[in-house]
C-alpha cells in the first residue's frame, strides 16, 4: 500500500473516531425531512377547506389560493400553506354589490362577480409582461391598462390577431381582450391581453355579454364602477316601466 493510501485510510479512521455516526440520529434527521408532508387526512381537510372558500378543486385551487395569499406558487400544499389555509378568509371582490368581472394584476387572478357581490368563479390569468416587444412587424409595450372598462365586442371561436390567435375573445379596450390561450403562465407574459385557460374560455365568453363591466387593478391603481352599475340599473328600470 502506498504512503498516500495509508495516510488517507488513517485520516478516515481518525474522523470516524472523532465523529461517530449515530444511526438513531440519522433516522431522526430523515423523519424531520419528511415530517412536513401532509397526511391523507390533512390533504382531505385542505381540499374541503378550499372548496368552502370558493376555490376550484385540484391543483388549480391550490395555485389560486397561493396567489391570493401571496405565497410561493408551487401547485402543492406545504405544511406552512396548510397552517395558513386553516385560518385564511375566503377571497372577496374589491368592488362588491353588482355584477362585473375583476382582474387583479398583482395576484394574476380573474374574479367573476354576480349581482349580489359573490364570487362565482376564480381563474388564473396572465396579463401584460410590461416589456417592450418587436414581433411580426409590430412594436409596443406589453401592458394591460388599469381602470374600468366594458366588454364592447366578442367573437366566438378563434380570432387571428396580428400577434397571435385568440380563443373566444371578449374585447374590453382598444383590441385587448379576455381570451383563452394554451399558455397561461403563472406570471405576466402576454402582449397586453388577459389570458385565461382554454378550458374556461367558452364559459367566460358566455358569462361576459357586451356591456359587462371589467375592473382591472393593482395595489397602486383602482377605480370603482359602482356609479356605472347604478346608472345601468336605473336605465333598465326606466325601460321596464
Residue 4 within any structural domain of the chain: no
Cα–Cα distance for residue pair 61/7, rounded to 1 Å: 59
Contact 103, 204 (CB under 8 A): no
| Domain of residue 154, residue span | 100-240
CATH number at residue 221: 2.40.440.10
Residue 105 within any structural domain of the chain: yes
Q: What is the pLDDT of residue 57?
A: 87
- Count up the domains in the chain and report the number: 2
Taking only the tens of pLDDT, the chain with its 241 residues reads 554 453 444 444 444 444 554 433 444 444 444 468 999 999 999 999 999 999 998 999 999 999 999 999 999 999 999 999 999 999 999 999 999 999 999 999 999 999 999 999 999 999 999 999 998 888 999 999 999 999 999 999 999 999 999 999 999 999 999 999 999 999 999 999 999 999 999 999 999 999 999 999 999 999 999 999 999 999 988 888 7
User: Are 123 and 217 members of one domain?
Assistant: yes
User: Are 159 and 178 members of one domain?
Assistant: yes
Amino acid at each position: 500500500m502506498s504512503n498516500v493510501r495509508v495516510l488517507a485510510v488513517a485520516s478516515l479512521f481518525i474522523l470516524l473516531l472523532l465523529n461517530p455516526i449515530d444511526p438513531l440520529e440519522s433516522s431522526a434527521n430523515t423523519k424531520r425531512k419528511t415530517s412536513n408532508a401532509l397526511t391523507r387526512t390533512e390533504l382531505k381537510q385542505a381540499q374541503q377547506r378550499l372548496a368552502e372558500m370558493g376555490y376550484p378543486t385540484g391543483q388549480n385551487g391550490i395555485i389560486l389560493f397561493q396567489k391570493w395569499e401571496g405565497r410561493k406558487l408551487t401547485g402543492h400544499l406545504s405544511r406552512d400553506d396548510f397552517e395558513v389555509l386553516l385560518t385564511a378568509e375566503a377571497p372577496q371582490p374589491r368592488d362588491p354589490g353588482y355584477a362585473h368581472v375583476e382582474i387583479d394584476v398583482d395576484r394574476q387572478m380573474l374574479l367573476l362577480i354576480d349581482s349580489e357581490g359573490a364570487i362565482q368563479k376564480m381563474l388564473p390569468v396572465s396579463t401584460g409582461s410590461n416589456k417592450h416587444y418587436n414581433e411580426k412587424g409590430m412594436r409596443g409595450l406589453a401592458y394591460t391598462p388599469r381602470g374600468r372598462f366594458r366588454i364592447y365586442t366578442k367573437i366566438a371561436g378563434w380570432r387571428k390577431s396580428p400577434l397571435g390567435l385568440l380563443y373566444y375573445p371578449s374585447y374590453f379596450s382598444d383590441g385587448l381582450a379576455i381570451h383563452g390561450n394554451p399558455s397561461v403562465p403563472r406570471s405576466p407574459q402576454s402582449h397586453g391581453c388577459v389570458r385565461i385557460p382554454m378550458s374556461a374560455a367558452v364559459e367566460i365568453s358566455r358569462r361576459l355579454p357586451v356591456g359587462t363591466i371589467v375592473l382591472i387593478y393593482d395595489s397602486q391603481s383602482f377605480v370603482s364602477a359602482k356609479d356605472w352599475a347604478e346608472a345601468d340599473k336605473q336605465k333598465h328600470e326606466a325601460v321596464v316601466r
